[in-house]
Amino acid sequence: MKKIFIASDHAGYNLKNSVISKLKKIIDLGPKSSDSVDYPDFAKKLSKKVAANKGSFGILICGTGVGMSMVANKQRGIRAVLAHNEYVGVMGRKHNDANVLCMGARVIGPSLGLEIVKWFLSTEFEGGRHERRVEMFE
């Protein structure tokens, strides 16, 4: 079974908990409280796990999703999509084979966040012409 990892910073802590409450088997990489932390630490921690577990997915949540996506996309093997609607999350999977979803808890509410997660995790990469383009990333 594909592993799914999640991490946040303090700003994303509540939305992280909402996602965890719906996805029982998700692996929580922290933080364990809403005390202030540095999002790059958690983006790097999660990226290492996703890169090391072939076919796994990651979810990163901060205030805007911007910092998390910037850091995640600098890590080898990570293709992170910053999505605040279902369409971008779905297209990130279909065309870009995104393996990490980033969201901003100060931008969207928990209901939309959960929908984006649901669509992201259930959408397959289309391959074909997109495969060649994704291979060009590395």
Catalytic site residues?
62, 95
SS (H, E, C) the chain: CCCEEEEECCCCHHHHHHHHHHCCCCEECCCCCCCCCCHHHHHHHHHHHHHHCCCCEEEEEECCCHHHHHHHCCCCCCCEEECCCHHHHHHHHHCCCCCEEEEECCCCCHHHHHHHHHHHHHCCCCCCHHHHHHHCCC
- Sole window of 20-28, 58-66, 94-102, 110-118 interacting with ligand RB5 (rule: CB under 6 A): 58-66
Q: Which residue is nearest to ligand RB5 (CB)?
A: 67
Nearest approach in angstroms of CB 8 to ligand RB5 is: 8
Query: 55 Cβ partners below 8 Å, 6+ apart?
Result: 2
- Sole window of 18-26, 27-35, 56-64, 111-119 interacting with ligand RB5 (rule: CB under 6 A): 56-64
- Residue 66 as a binder of ligand RB5 (CB under 6 A): the answer is yes
8 versus 99: smaller Cβ distance to ligand RB5 = 8
Selected from 37, 62, 82, 100, the binder of ligand RB5 by CB under 6 A is: 62
Contacts to ligand RB5 from residues 22-51, by CB under 6 A: 39
Which positions touch ligand RB5 (CB under 6 A)?
A: 9, 11, 39, 62-64, 66-67
